[in-house]
Amino acid sequence: MRPESPVALITGASSGIGEAAARLLAANGYRLALGARRGERLENLAAELSKKYGVKAFTGKVDTRDSASVQNFVDSAAAHLGAIHVVVANAGLASGLHKIWEIPDEDMEAMLRTNVEGVVKTIRAALPHVRSAGWGHIFFIGSTAGHQSYEGGGVYSASKHGIKALAHALRLELCGEPVRVTSIDPGMAQTEFALVRFKDEVRARALYEGIDPLTGADVAECIRWCLELPDHVNIDEMIVKCLDQASHTMTKVNRKPYSISTSKMRSAILK
């Protein structure tokens, strides 16, 4: 049975989609277990949401690449809040824009370890708690890059294809149990994603120049909608893009008049 005040565990909750999901779920009465590497941000967010919505919130500094760190965060959250019902395995990143034969080890390992290993470790640690609660929902945060690869994003796309495979496998493995599984696969969403990838504010801004991209709040609304459907309804996979992005990559994007010329914009993105 769906609990009156479910507990949602969110990784990568200090910014972007994770933070937006925390805000929206708190507004809908969910108790929160918020994890990220930036502990001070989490504490401020938890204090704000607890005061505004009266929900209980647990925070933990966690590195999803480290099994012990993940296990400690998940078990501590379950002990503090009494249960875990919803898991939003959101922690992930893109690092650089490299052809496959050019990618440095540090960028390759950052993406594969965080985007794939980190998700497996999060779900592996949280699933026993979700099962024992008797009702739950597991969310993967994929990408349109998990449906179509692009130049310079081979390793990132591989990691998101991996997320799609994990979501499909878990859906099969949990069939017959009261735990839903959903992969939310956004296209161009303006969060800290591009800044983390390029480490350059000009390049990050240029990526979204002239379009009206998704926001973290838009993706969070997709999570909320899936959660609020009747329990017998499972959205296996949701691809969500802004209206200006018709293709899974940037091959068909409507760019309205903007301040940077096309050549400068493309140079900034692809440099």
Residue 260, pLDDT score: 47
Phi-psi region of 248 (alpha: psi -120 to 50; beta: other; left: phi over 0): alpha
Residue 70 is encoded by which pair of tokens? 């993940």
Answer yes or no: is 271 within a domain: no
Residue 207, pLDDT score: 86
Identify the burial level of 262 via C-beta atoms within 10 angstroms of its C-beta, where 0-12 means exposed, 13-18 middle and 19 or more buried: exposed
User: Within the chain, how many helices (H) and strands (E) appear?
Assistant: 10, 7
Answer yes or no: is 266 within a domain: no
Q: Where are the alpha helices (DSSP H) in the chain?
A: 16-27, 39-53, 67-81, 105-112, 118-133, 154-173, 193-198, 201-207, 216-228, 262-270
Number of domains within the chain = 1
Phi-psi region of 82 (alpha: psi -120 to 50; beta: other; left: phi over 0): left
Residue 191, pLDDT score: 84
- Digitized pLDDT (tens) for each residue of the chain, 271 residues in all: 899 999 999 999 999 999 999 999 999 999 999 999 888 999 999 999 999 999 999 999 999 999 999 999 999 999 999 999 999 999 999 998 999 999 999 999 999 999 999 999 999 999 999 999 999 999 999 999 999 999 999 999 999 999 999 999 999 999 999 999 999 999 999 888 778 888 878 888 888 999 999 999 999 999 999 999 999 999 999 999 999 999 998 889 999 885 544 444 444 444 4
Q: What is the pTM of this model?
A: 0.92
Q: Which of 30, 150, 156, 208 is catalytic?
A: 156
Answer yes or no: is 234 within a domain: yes
Residue 258, pLDDT score: 56
- In angstroms, the CA 108 to CA 39 distance is 25
Answer yes or no: is 253 within a domain: no
Answer yes or no: is 85 within a domain: yes
Answer yes or no: is 262 within a domain: no
Identify the burial level of 56 via C-beta atoms within 10 angstroms of its C-beta, where 0-12 means exposed, 13-18 middle and 19 or more buried: middle
Residue 24, pLDDT score: 98
Residue range of the domain that includes 60 = 7-200+213-246
Q: The tokens 């400690």 sit on which residue? A: 72
Answer yes or no: is 256 within a domain: no
> Shortest CA distance to 22 belongs to which of 105, 86, 72, 92?
86
156 counts as catalytic = yes
Domain of 12, CATH number, reads 3.40.50.720
Residue 192, pLDDT score: 80
Answer yes or no: is 258 within a domain: no
